[in-house]
Amino acid sequence: MRLLRRQRAAPRAKTGRPAERYLIAGADEARRLGHGSIGTEHVLLALTRDPAGPAATILRELGVTHGDIAASPCLAGTPSRRIDADALATLGIDLENVRERLEETFGPGALEQTRAGCLGVMPRLKIALAYAVDFAAEGPVREEHMLLALLSVPDSLAAHILAERGVTLAKVESLVGER
Amino acid sequence: MIEPANVVAQTASKDPEVGLRGVASLRALLEAVEELQVRRARELGWSWQQIAELLGVSKQAVHQKYGTGSRRGQRRFR
């Protein structure tokens, strides 16, 4: 029984985490929406938040704005946080109050550092982040690479949202190639 | 002044969906608080036995959940 239960630790990445900033930006979007995990749709939202950014510029040329993406019904499908403030409020529990008390003892962000309180990362986003690193080859992972990567993952929510507005991998590739 | 939370509770507590969502969130909150407390107790040098007694579970149960070698929770993201 012991043998069956024992699990090996995940191997440590040999180099840095070149695409981590996109994961962090996606986490901010997920948190803002009250979602329980970070998906490709959140990274897409983050990429387009700055209208002057490279990804936002490419998408604007293809007729898609941040507002279009934020308004997509696809975003409603993402599961909400496991610790949901509204659900707790129905029991008379004020999550902010609980959070404050926990942070007094355990420091800022304590709740987010637990298994139940942290954000998950959706499998398709993991694949997309790996693709982004591939697109960047040896260089830094730029926004264009991340956008291409999101579109390269079949069935990713980001690709789906963009496909609904006529944006395909081929179209973005040709625009990136022109630069 | 009526708190918004109370209004929600009064209007929606009879709906099972609302009730079950509350239970799920409460359980997740419980898990989070337990993890924080157990981790801190261990850092302060408490034994698994002492922690288990206060939690009202076996020391094996709490060790299996939070002990070293438990891979759960190593890959977390805030």
Q: SS3 for A115-136, per residue?
A: CCCCEEECHHHHHHHHHHHHHC
Strands A120-121 and A37-38: parallel
**Which of A4, A90, A101, A105 to substitute to test the interface with B, most B CBs within 10 Å?**
A90
Q: Is-contact A139 A29, C-beta < 8 A?
A: no
Q: Is-contact A64 A165, C-beta < 8 A?
A: yes
Q: Is-contact A93 B10, C-beta < 8 A?
A: no
Q: Is-contact A136 A55, C-beta < 8 A?
A: no
pLDDT in tens, A37-88: 999 999 999 999 999 999 999 999 999 999 999 998 888 867 777 888 888 9
The pLDDT of residue A82 is 83
Q: Is-contact A87 B25, C-beta < 8 A?
A: yes
Q: Give the other-Cβ count within 10 Å of B54's Cβ.
A: 12
Nearest to B5 among A9, A92, A115 (CB): A92
CB contact under 8 A, A94 and B19: no
Name the DSSP class of A19. T
C-alpha distance from A71 to closest chain B C-alpha (Å): 25
Residue B47 has pLDDT above 90, yes or no: yes
Q: Which residue of A has its CA nearest to B41?
A: A106
The sign one gets for the Cα dihedral A41, A46, A48, A53 is negative
Nearest to A111 among B19, B32, B69 (CB): B32
Which has more pLDDT, A98 or A31?
Answer: A98
CB contact under 8 A, B18 and A90: yes
Decide if B73 is inside a domain: no
Decide if B78 is inside a domain: no
Judged by average pLDDT, the poorest of A84-98, A135-149, B6-20 is B6-20
Residue that has been written with the tokens 């637990």 in this structure:
A114
Q: Is-contact B38 B62, C-beta < 8 A?
A: yes
Query: Which positions in chain A touch B75 (Cβ < 8 Å)?
Result: 10
B28: domain range?
Answer: 4-66
The tally of domains found in chain B comes to: 1
Q: Is-contact A25 A142, C-beta < 8 A?
A: no
Distance CA A34, CA A85 (A): 9
Query: Which positions in chain A touch B5 (Cβ < 8 Å)?
Result: 89-90, 92, 94
* Predicted complex ipTM: 0.70
pLDDT in tens, A130-170: 999 999 988 889 999 999 999 999 899 999 999 999 999 99
The sign one gets for the Cα dihedral A82, A84, A87, A93 is positive
Decide if B77 is inside a domain: no
Q: Is-contact A124 A39, C-beta < 8 A?
A: yes
The terminus-to-terminus CA distance of chain A in angstroms comes to 58
Domains and CATH numbers, chain A: 18-79+120-179 (1.10.1780.10), 82-118 (no CATH)
Q: Which of A51, A56, A19, A60 is nearest to A38 (CA)?
A: A19
CB contact under 8 A, B28 and A83: yes
Nearest to B29 among A9, A98, A120 (CB): A98
Q: How confident is the model at residue A36 (pLDDT cuts 50, 70, 90)?
A: confident
The pLDDT of residue A97 is 94
Partners of A124 in the β-ladder: none
**Which of A94, A111, A115, A125 to substitute to test the interface with B, most B CBs within 10 Å?**
A115
